[in-house]
Amino acid sequence: MATIKGNSGNNNLTGTTENDFIYGYDGLDTLTGLAGNDRLEAGNGNDILDGGSGADTMIGGNGDDTYIIDRISDVIIEIPGEGVDTIKTSISYTMSDNYVNNLILTGNSNLNGTGNSYDNVITGNNGKNILKGGDGNDTIYGYVDDTLYGEKGDDYLTGGSYIDGDATIYGGEGNDTVSGFGVMYGNAGNDLLTPGEYSTAYGGIGNDTLTGYQSASYGEGGNDLITGFQFYGNGGNGNDTLKGGDFSFLEGGKGEDTLICYKDYDTDEHTIIFNASNEGIDTIIDFDPDTDSLQVSASGFGGITAGVTISSTQFKYGISATTSSQRFIYDTATGYLRFDIDGSGSTSATVLAIFQGAPTLNNSDINVI
């Protein structure tokens, strides 16, 4: 057993194969225990403590310290107000409430990392990781094939790679910010989700904001704001606002939704989707019949045939059907589009949407799937 002491300078102190006591005192010290069950006390300064093999006890003291962990039996001692400390670990690790803030997984193994009740920064390694924030407002960085859980708090989570592979990300409770490549879930709270290319985002409960490019965004519950270019947006339940750029597919879902056909160029195309006639009255803004179209579900509406545009006999200008075959009635004065399942029969027509500016629609604008 050896006792090794530094001084007020920047020390690089290395123990033996025995159970050592290593004291750094002041300065920017690096303490390395090697083998044995060592005790490392760094003192003041931004220090690095590496117990080595064995069940080690490490005390960072004042300063922003870094702990190297390779055994679950290693013990870290910190007290409040002594700095922002970081654990670097080559094993799966769950942080205890010992006032350490940050966790970094090292190496290439498939490891798991879990935060504590504080505001953590958790970073995965090159393996397949499961990263959990725990309590607190956490920041979690994952990579290819990782699974991230924000859990409680207002968390920031990002993961996946456009080239190398996807991540699965769960925001959890709180108002979370989620981005990356793969599949992401806002869960509870008013979340901000930014799916990368070929990724999918689900807002969950709350009034969420989803912004994507060449991706799919589902608002699910709440009154959501969904925007993107060359993407599919689905509002789900609630009174949602969807704004799509070129080659976008916009589906309001249930509720009184607003769908905006944003155009950078006159040739930009949009598809407005209706799955049923009773999902609420949507407002359609900047719809251009020359480039945009409507898509309706044969099974959800009834009385129409899938795979074709509706026929001229199924479309009428005005406010009500005058024949039994007319299904879609468009008022050119107000922009109201109605659906009547039995035409001039006894069932009343339902308002599907209000087209702002009352653009000139005809039967060729409505495709049935």
Enter the pTM of the model: 0.93
Question: What is the average pLDDT score of the chain?
Answer: 96
In this predicted structure, what is the pLDDT of residue 215? Answer: 98
In this predicted structure, what is the pLDDT of residue 342? Answer: 96
Indicate the pLDDT class of residue 162, thresholds 50, 70 and 90.
confident
Q: Is the pLDDT of residue 267 over 80?
A: no
**What is the pLDDT averaged over residues 185-200?**
98
Indicate the pLDDT class of residue 103, thresholds 50, 70 and 90.
very high
In this predicted structure, what is the pLDDT of residue 171? Answer: 98
Read off the DSSP letter of residue 161. Answer: B
Which residues lie closer than 8 Å to 334 by C-beta, 6 or more apart? 354, 358
Indicate the pLDDT class of residue 266, thresholds 50, 70 and 90.
confident
In this predicted structure, what is the pLDDT of residue 345? Answer: 94
How far is the CA of 196 from the CAs of 126, 142, 158, 168, 216, in angstroms?
A: 20, 14, 10, 12, 9
In this predicted structure, what is the pLDDT of residue 164? Answer: 79
Q: Is the pLDDT of residue 265 over 80?
A: no
Indicate the pLDDT class of residue 165, thresholds 50, 70 and 90.
confident
- Interval 17-39: pLDDT, tens: 999 999 999 999 999 999 999 99
Which residues lie closer than 8 Å to 286 by C-beta, 6 or more apart? 260, 261, 262, 263, 356, 357
In this predicted structure, what is the pLDDT of residue 163? Answer: 79
Q: Name 66's bridge partners.
A: 48, 86
The sign one gets for the Cα dihedral 104, 105, 108, 112 is negative
Phi then psi dihedrals of residue 298, to 5 deg: -60, -45
- Residue ranges in the chain assigned as alpha helix (H): 298-301
In this predicted structure, what is the pLDDT of residue 121? Answer: 99
Read off the DSSP letter of residue 202. Answer: E
Q: Write down the domain spans for the chain.
A: 1-83, 97-222
Report helix, strand and coil shares of the chain as percent, to nearest 5: 5, 40, 60
Answer for the pair 95, 115: CB distance below 8 angstroms, yes or no.
Answer: yes
| Per-residue tokens: 314 | 């199924």
Indicate the pLDDT class of residue 363, thresholds 50, 70 and 90.
very high
- Interval 76-100: pLDDT, tens: 999 999 999 999 999 999 999 999 9
Residues for the chain: how many in total? Answer: 369
In this predicted structure, what is the pLDDT of residue 94? Answer: 98
In 3-state terms, what secondary structure has residue 56?
coil
- Interval 298-355: pLDDT, tens: 999 998 999 999 999 999 999 999 999 999 999 999 999 999 999 999 999 999 999 9
